[in-house]
Amino acid sequence: MSFGERLVAAVGRFGPLCAGIDPHPSLLAEWGLTDDAEGLAGFCSAAVAALAGHVAVVKPQAAFFERHGSRGIAVLEQTLADLAGTGTLSLLDVKRGDIGSTMDGYADAYLGVGAAVAADAITVSPYLGFGSLEPAFRAAEEAGRGVFVLARTSNPEGGTVQLASVDGVTVAQGMVTAAGVRNAGASPLGGIGVVVGATHDHGLDLGALNGAVLAPGLGAQGATPADIAERFAGLRGLVLPAASRSILKAGPDVAALRGAAEAQRDELAAALTVLS
């Protein structure tokens, strides 16, 4: 199956929530865990037990694993392996982006058949040019995986680059348009998504995307399901609102974590219409 087919199936089964696994040092402490690889492993084990098979997508943040060195990366590999086959897709928030053989290397690491740190999808940065991501697109398509391209992020610094105009079109819109061209003709969705923050009006035309939008900012960052329904009403594809802290603060109890995720999932399902 293509990534688009698998994603539509997962959202149809579990709803549109993307739940983050963001093991901040402060959150490890709140859970009574040590800020090391052992604490990280305990955190991820509880999160996977709570979320796998209950939400469509789980999004580990790579930075909080990398800060623990090789042992942290080993925990990340195990977390991704534990999610595989559960019906819940993994979306690794790693924001890789480079050129030539270096981008080939990133694609081999995360997306290729037999990838060492294999995720169902990853985030990528296009600011060396959308075309520089071609190795990731090729590897993802061959392996039935997906790629989410940064377009209009919610951080205030992002606007300096993303809202710059080239031939009368913002850079952010250019990324969305380029993704839509790559997704054209795919059914039910193409494998190239975009990242658009949910905490502000994005001003983008998403009508020809034919892919998924990862929309971080739900919950603790201030976006509500009603905000997301309004801001992504013109999307031709589906939206994956992402929440992390508002769910993870319910831990470390697995039942409480699952309850928080399911409550957020059900609230989203009531507010959103998933287009295919």
Active site residues: 95
| Distance (Å, whole) CA 163 – CA 10 | 33
Sequence-distant (≥ 6) Cβ neighbours of residue 247 within 8 angstroms: 19, 20, 219, 257, 260, 261, 264
Asked whether the beta carbons of 211 and 190 are under 8 A apart, the reply is yes
Is residue 55 within 8 A of residue 261, CB to CB? The reply is yes
Backbone angles phi, psi at 130, to 5 degrees: -55, -40
Whether residue 188 contacts residue 215, with contact meaning beta carbons closer than 8 Å, is answered with no
Q: Give the E-state strand segments of 109-183 in sequence order.
A: 121-124, 146-152, 165-166, 169-170
Q: What is the helix (H) or strand (E) element at residue 73, kind and residue range?
A: helix 69-83
Question: What is the CB neighbour count within 10 angstroms for residue 125?
Answer: 16
Q: Which residues contact 253 (CB under 8 A, 6 or more apart)?
A: none
Two structure tokens written together for 238:
């589906």
Those residues whose C-beta lies under 8 Å from the C-beta of residue 226, and which sit 6 or more positions away, are 271
